[in-house]
Each structure stands twice: as structure tokens, then as C-alpha cells.
């Protein structure tokens, strides 16, 4: 399943509410600079994964993600995270960024409520034909998959049918995203 950036759904809100971390001097091998935390959500209205993928990018290179952090809103879920998503490439700074995002950002209850509100806005946009992003969402969701292949973990190893789904839903892959890929 394709994850859609929140800024595609609600650009003005995303501009106001995107969190950044600014380092005024290097810290633990992380260079000084500003790091944006970009939110990506599952747009499928039939999926209730209740997750967000937080992609961390440096302001100087916004299209290069240094860390992809999976976070689930249901804290009792065994795959709640936060953890580095094994299906996305991670930079040499990923573990430090995970630590910083967990300690500085995901510990803020107001921010967590904001993420859940953004999740609901994405799901609402996916079922509202009058929403400006509706067509973009459905174009992505309805793209033909010509070849079904198992996703690769960052180690190059394929995800098995009976493995936990990499989207973090807690379901087996064969009962979750593998069905959507067909």
C-alpha cells in the first residue's frame, strides 16, 4: 500500500504543523541544520492501521529521507513502535534520529493528538469526492499492479507470507498488504 504525504492532503495545515528539529551545532555525528519530520499516512478508507510513517529529511535535501520511523497510535499493539521501518532505506544517522524523534517529539501528547487528527483527515479526504485531494488519493489507490512481488526488507530479504505485515498493522502480511497488492 502506498503511503501518501500529509502535505498532499492538507498543504496549508501541513505547512503550519510540520515539526522540525534544529541543531545549532553537530550532535552525535548529526550535522548542524534543520530536520523536518514529514508525515505519511495510508489513504485506504477500508484500512484502520492507525499508524503514521515519520520521514525525517534535512532541510538542505528535502527529498532524501534520513530515517523512516513507524509509529502506531494504539500503544498496546506489539508493533506500536516507534521503530525504524525495515522496508525503507535508512541513513547512517537513522538510529540517532529515531532516538531524538522519540525523546523530543513523540513524548509530546499534543503532537500525538495532532498526528491522530491528521490520520483522520486523510481517511476523511479519501471518502469525500469534494475534497481537493480525493482524485489524487484514488489515482494512487487504483493504480494497476502488474506484478505482485513480496516487498524487500532493508536487508534485501523478502517479507514472507506469514511474517508480520511491514505496514505495522499487526496482521500477517498475507492478510493485509499482500491482499491489497493483488
Residue 152 located in a structural domain: no
Question: In terms of residue numbers, what domain contains 98?
Answer: 4-147
The residues, ordered by sequence, that sit 6+ positions from 141 with a Cβ below 8 Å of its Cβ are 2, 43, 44, 126
Strand partners, 80: none
d(CA 171, CA 182): 17
Ordered alpha helix ranges (H), 72-156: 94-100, 109-127, 134-141
Number of domains, the chain: 1
Residue 11 located in a structural domain: yes
d(CA 169, CA 182): 18
Give the pLDDT confidence score for residue 60 in this predicted structure.
85
DSSP codes, 152-169:
BPTTSPBPPTTSBPTTSS
More confident: 148 or 33 = 33
d(CA 161, CA 159): 7
- pLDDT tens digits, 138-149: 887 776 433 334
Residue 85 located in a structural domain: yes
Give the model's confidence band at 107: pLDDT under 50 very low, under 70 low, under 90 confident, else very high.
very high
H-run or E-run covering 14: helix 11-17
d(CA 146, CA 175): 20
Give the pLDDT confidence score for residue 138 in this predicted structure.
86
Q: Which pTM does this prediction carry?
A: 0.77
Residue 127 located in a structural domain: yes
More confident: 172 or 24 = 24
Please check the confidence at residue 150 and state whether its pLDDT lies above 90.
Answer: no
- pLDDT tens digits, 59-91: 888 889 999 999 999 988 888 889 999 888 999
Residue 55 located in a structural domain: yes
Please check the confidence at residue 175 and state whether its pLDDT lies above 70.
Answer: no
3-state secondary structure of 93: coil
Residue 177 located in a structural domain: no
Residue 180 located in a structural domain: no
Residue 56 located in a structural domain: yes
Amino acid at each position: 500500500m502506498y503511503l501518501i504525504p500529509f502535505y498532499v492532503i492538507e498543504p496549508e495545515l501541513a505547512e503550519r504543523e510540520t515539526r522540525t528539529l534544529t541543531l545549532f551545532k553537530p550532535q552525535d555525528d548529526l550535522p548542524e541544520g534543520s530536520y523536518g519530520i514529514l508525515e505519511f499516512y495510508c489513504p485506504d478508507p477500508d484500512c484502520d492501521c492507525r499508524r503514521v510513517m515519520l520521514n525525517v529529511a534535512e532541510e538542505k535535501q528535502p527529498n532524501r529521507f534520513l530515517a523512516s520511523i513507524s509509529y502506531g497510535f494504539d500503544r498496546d499493539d506489539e508493533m506500536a513502535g516507534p521503530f525504524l521501518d525495515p522496508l525503507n532505506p535508512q541513513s547512517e544517522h537513522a538510529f540517532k534520529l529515531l532516538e531524538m524523534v522519540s525523546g523530543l517529539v513523540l513524548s509530546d501528547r499534543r503532537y500525538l493528538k495532532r498526528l491522530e487528527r491528521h490520520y483522520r483527515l486523510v481517511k476523511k479526504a479519501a471518502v469525500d469526492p469534494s475534497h481537493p485531494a480525493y482524485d489524487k488519493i484514488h489515482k494512487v489507490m487504483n493504480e494497476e499492479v502488474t506484478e505482485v512481488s513480496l516487498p524487500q526488507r532493508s536487508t534485501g530479504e523478502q517479507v514472507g507470507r506469514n511474517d508480520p505485515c511491514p505496514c505495522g498493522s499487526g496482521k500477517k502480511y498475507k492478510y493485509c498488504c499482500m491482499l491489497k497488492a493483488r
